[in-house]
Amino acid sequence: MAPGILDVDLLAFERGSRQAREAVVDGVKRSLATGFVYSSSDLPVDLLDSAYGLLQRFFALEAETKRRFHAPGTSGQTGYTDLLVETAAGCAHPDWKEMLNWSAPLPLGHPLRRRFPELYPEQVLPEEAVPGISVLLARFHRAIADLQRRFLRVIALGMGCAEDFFEEMVCEAPTLTRALRYPPMAEAPAEGHLWAAAHGDINLITALPRATGPGLQVRVVGEWLEAAPPEGRVIINTGLMLERLSNGRIPTGWHRVVAPAGACGERHSVVQFCHARPWTILAPVPSCCGPDHPQRFSAIRAADALEEMLYRINLLENGVVTGGKNG
């Protein structure tokens, strides 16, 4: 029987009995065979409504106004990214989407910011165009990051690690929140573009709390399936960093965003990429290796893995990918 995406209850893990906790860990382990899981959350609905509302106001602005909030030299780690820029590794056509990116700043003297300034840029947000958006998006970022930190406790137990295994790894990491607008496909400049071509994320896990319409598809056992979470659920997918740490026991969740047949509207969503701190050495943990599952991956620093991926998806400034076949 092919694995399926399961719906688990994070709040039951945190508040329930030992049996309830074990059931959630088991469900997450089985669901992440697909790279995806649906989860309950305690994200405030009014926070989601307000954040999505202000972001839609931003994306409705004139193109030249939005481009004022592009942040040169940041490789898409903050500010506005225009249409037809990000390109999935191995794809000849850039994605038909535009983005606004932000994260939690660190003090200028912080060691992480001193060593990795490209991953901790000054934040560029459209406050002058959409008053109040900076404070609200900072609050939104913190809420999603906390949810992901808590969910990683379940994953850690499923990997045979201590529950707090990821706590230090994600503390003050360059976790990135990204708002996306996918315009109507009828407006795309040529054939061959998708809203987002097939790809896997580079980070540990990614959270998608809400989308304004269908289009997200996930690859399970070679088939593309519609992601259809129950109402109010958050979609969690796994990234390449987690696949490496788990020695491949938790595969990367491959996905794409495709406009439904006959659709004439646009789609909005917000995702957050939960990263490891850039000086983290990503190597398979011993609990995920053994005679029946020998070590598959060598070690790599998280910053280096991220930089390589930014290059491959055409976001690394001064790094130009040619030929399309790059991943």
Q: How far apart (Å, rounded) are the C-alpha atoms in residues 148 and 154?
A: 10
pLDDT at 91: 86
Q: What is the end-to-end Cα distance of the chain in Å, rounded?
A: 30
What phi and psi, each to the nearest 5 degrees, are found at residue 2? -70, 140
DSSP assignment of 5-56, as one string? --EE-HHHHHHS-HHHHHHHHHHHHHHTTTTEEEE-----HHHHHHHHHHHH
Q: Using the predicted structure, report yes or no on whether residue 321 has a pLDDT greater than 70.
A: no
Range 289-317 average pLDDT: 88
pLDDT at 45: 96
Q: Using the predicted structure, report yes or no on whether residue 323 has a pLDDT greater than 90.
A: no
Residues 100-154 have pLDDT tens digits of: 999 999 999 999 999 999 899 999 999 999 999 999 999 999 999 999 999 999 9
The structural domains of the chain, with segments of one domain joined by +, span 7-312
Question: CATH number of the domain at 7-312, please?
Answer: 2.60.120.330
pTM: 0.93
| Residue 316: CB atoms within 10 Å | 18
Range 292-302 average pLDDT: 95
Tokens 């910053």 — which residue?
303
Q: How confident is the model at residue 92 (pLDDT cuts 50, 70, 90)?
A: confident
**Max CA distance (Å), the chain:** 59
DSSP state of 190: S
Sheet of 36-39: strand order equals: 7-8, 36-39, 234-238, 205-211, 267-274, 176-182, 98-103, 79-81
C-beta of residue 86 within 8 angstroms of C-beta of residue 77 = no
